[in-house]
Amino acid sequence: MAKSVLDEYDKNLTSLAYITSSAEFQTHLNLNDSSKKRTTDKYYEHYRSCLTTIAMVARHFQSLLNNNHTSLRWLLLRTQAIGEAGENNTVIKHEIQKLRNRMKEIYHRKFIWNNTQLSIDEVQEVLGKLESPDDLLSLWNATYEVAKPMRDCYSTLIATQNQQAKQNRLTDKTDLITNNEERRIVEQLWQELKPLHRLLHAYVRQKMAKLYPGLIQLDQPIPVHLTKDIFGSMMTYLVQDVLPFPHLKNIDLGPTMKQKNFTEENIFHYADRFFVSLNLTQVPSSFWNLSIFKKIPDRHMACHPTAFDMYKYDDVRYV
């Protein structure tokens, strides 16, 4: 009975999610049309109300949480903790919101470095232009001094979210995000990629050791400030220094694409074929008819590349 009830709610919720996403899609295409924004907001309100109802219904099946039917147990756990419906303690809910606001306020603080006022969002571009290791370290340290108070907020936020999760009969917050099977798959993928990752890291480290003599040990991690990336996750500003075969001219696809009269849609067709070659699913045929690949003339619309999940297997869109 529990599964049939939840399946019925899932069907209704999927339909409502599709209507809501469709309304949001139209809002992106018509930013000056306030009526479309009001319609989207109305659908979102119905959607949130439906989520709350589902969570309340699911809690009537508490006794089934110990059921051996793994998929049913997982569905019940996830359903009971959906969105605002899972935040059944208003004190915890307000505490989480307060912590998030506090971290956002800290993140956007400006600071002075080298007689220049900067925000964290502006640091990356400045880092990319610096050459001196001392300057790189100085700016990196100054940036993290601003963000350092966020550490305590994060610790408190994690503890509070875990407390909230336990109210919903979860072990901690991570149980709401993934299950054991998902974790197993991710771990398996990581173990497959790990040898390649280690080789790439060793290659980059060796190149950077020549770039910064005496500052990088070949058997130690790369000092993060020397990557010229605030998080040490991108090599954008070092790509010319670490790429193999530096004597070869970089490949510039631009002239060839212009010569072949590439359109915006052509690029997506090439991308689609590439992902299919990786054994991923081809986009549905409706994608090409319903997506917007180029700004519509004389219309105020959102042009930042956005993929829309319409909550239907055969309908994904792009603006």
Amino acid, res. 227: T
89: pLDDT strictly greater than 50: yes
Per residue in 118-171, pLDDT (tens digit) is 988 899 999 999 999 999 999 999 999 998 999 999 999 999 988 877 776 677
**Residue environment code for 138-173, b if the CB has 16+ CB neighbours within 10 A, otherwise e:** ebbeebbebeeebeebeeebeebbeebbeebebeeb
Where does the pLDDT of residue 84 fall: very low under 50, low under 70, confident under 90, or very high at 90 and above? very low
* d(C-alpha 28, C-alpha 6), whole Å: 32
Amino acid, res. 35: S
Per residue in 260-286, pLDDT (tens digit) is 898 989 999 999 999 899 888 899 999
* d(C-alpha 252, C-alpha 142), whole Å: 37
Amino acid, res. 261: N
In this structure, what token pair is assigned to residue 216? 């990088």
> In 3D, which of 176, 181, 157, 156 has the Cα closest to residue 166?
176
Please tell me whether residue 209 adopts helix, strand or coil conformation.
helix
- Cβ-based neighbours of 313, under 8 Å, separated by 6 or more: 284
- What pLDDT score does 152 carry? 92
Q: Average pLDDT of the chain?
A: 83
Predicted model pTM: 0.63
* d(C-alpha 140, C-alpha 134), whole Å: 10
